[in-house]
Amino acid sequence: MRRSGIQGRGGSLRHPENQSKRDLGLIVSDCKASAAAVYTTNLVKGAPLLVTKEHLADGTAQAILCNSGNANTCNADGPQIANAMCQLAADQLGLAPEDVAIASTGVIGQPLNLEVIQAGMAPPVEDLAYHNSLHAATAIMTTDTIPKEAAVEFELDGKVCHLGGIAKGSGMIHPNMATMLVFLTTDAAISSELLRKALSTDVQSTFNMVSVDGDTSTNDMVVILVNGMADNAPITQEDKDFAVFMKALNTVTMQLCKMLAGDGEGATHSKSLSRGKLIAAGCILIAGALAALWFLLPQPEKEPPLRREFPVSRQTITVGVDASGTIRSQQ
């Protein structure tokens, strides 16, 4: 949306097996944004992740660039290629390369041809628009069968705010966030400290709880950009506005989690396990064991994949919060 100051686009790098496939996604904020990220816990980490971590060290960014088809991981020149991709995007956008977060997903150990990236960079930049999240969501897909996106509107300080996200992930997804990329954006204003806390808290009960097949991977991250263009009074303490922001964030991330699980490779069932009043740590162990057992059980052969049952989610949420910041109702 234009008023959120976030543009997106997906372009084609002339995929050899599918000339029409979008495989270069770009997300750009109209102004420099606060940024936070959570990264895979895998011991081996891809070059794009390491470069992004370095670029986000100051807590700011203005663009996210992601290619699909090649993970740029376990390559001798991986860091150089990742930095060069940031430079290419920065040159096209008039930014500093340090303001670009970079991600890659696909085949590991295969050299990434920078000339192909360079040749395909101009169209996504030229075609940036405020309603192109679907193009960006499509561009980051690998074995996914559907693009995954969700968005909400919510109110802070009398201002209408927006928060949306796109995700990719279909296989090798296991608790503690692996083999998924998630890019979130919002025009709400919130301090960098509370943004980091909001994201790190939310992923514990969302992306860190998704399991498809028990594998982990190298390039996976959740990145959020916050540009404050909604003009609400910045959230600087854990008050009722912070609770509303957390609810908006969780609404989007939970929907993306459901889409990731529903689009799991070969998935015909999706199970959601609630901890209830159990101790959290014990519940996580039990849920993990039950999820692993579920995969071993014989499943009906003719049941359609759940991935067909998750449409794009765009909704408006209204959150009631009492004086203590406790969410009392939602719609």
Q: In the chain, what are the domain boundaries? A: 2-268+304-330
Residue 179 a catalytic site member: yes
* Cα distance between residue 136 and residue 155, in whole Å: 26
Which amino acid appears at position 276 of this protein?
Answer: G
Q: Are 45 and 79 in contact (CB under 8 A)?
A: no
Relative orientation angle of helices 47-55 and 78-93, to the nearest 10 degrees: 50
Rounded to two decimals, the pTM is 0.81
Q: Find where tokens 């340090």 sit.
A: 98
pLDDT of residue 25: 92
218 neighbors 40 (Cβ within 8 angstroms): yes
Beta strand residue intervals within the chain, DSSP E: 6-11, 24-39, 60-70, 100-107, 148-156, 159-168, 181-186, 221-226, 313-316, 319-321, 327-330
CA 236 vs. chain centroid, Å, equals 24
DSSP 8-state secondary structure symbol assigned to residue 208 = G
Fold for 2-268+304-330, please state it: L-amino peptidase D-ALA esterase/amidase (3.60.70)
Tell me which residue has tokens 């891809």: 46
How many whole angstroms separate alpha carbon 315 and alpha carbon 155? 13
H or E segment to which residue 149 belongs: strand 148-156
Instruction: Determine the pLDDT at residue 39.
Output: 92
Residues paired with residue 154 on neighbouring β-strands, in sequence order: 161
- At 123 the pLDDT is 83
Other CB atoms within 10 Å distance of the CB of residue 209: 21
Q: Which residues contact 257 (CB under 8 A, 6 or more apart)?
A: 206, 207, 209, 210
Place of tokens 């990145």: 223
One digit per residue, the tens of pLDDT, for the chain of length 331 reads 455 788 887 766 644 445 567 889 999 999 999 999 999 888 889 999 999 999 999 999 999 999 999 999 999 999 999 999 999 999 999 999 999 999 999 999 999 999 999 988 988 898 899 888 898 999 999 888 889 999 999 999 999 999 999 999 865 444 455 468 999 999 999 999 999 999 999 998 888 876 554 456 788 899 999 999 999 999 999 999 999 999 999 999 999 988 987 775 444 445 554 544 444 545 555 555 555 544 455 555 544 444 333 344 445 544 444 444 444 434 3
- Name the catalytic one among 179, 206, 216, 251: 179
Q: From the CB of residue 188, how many other CB atoms can be counted at a distance below 10 Å?
A: 29
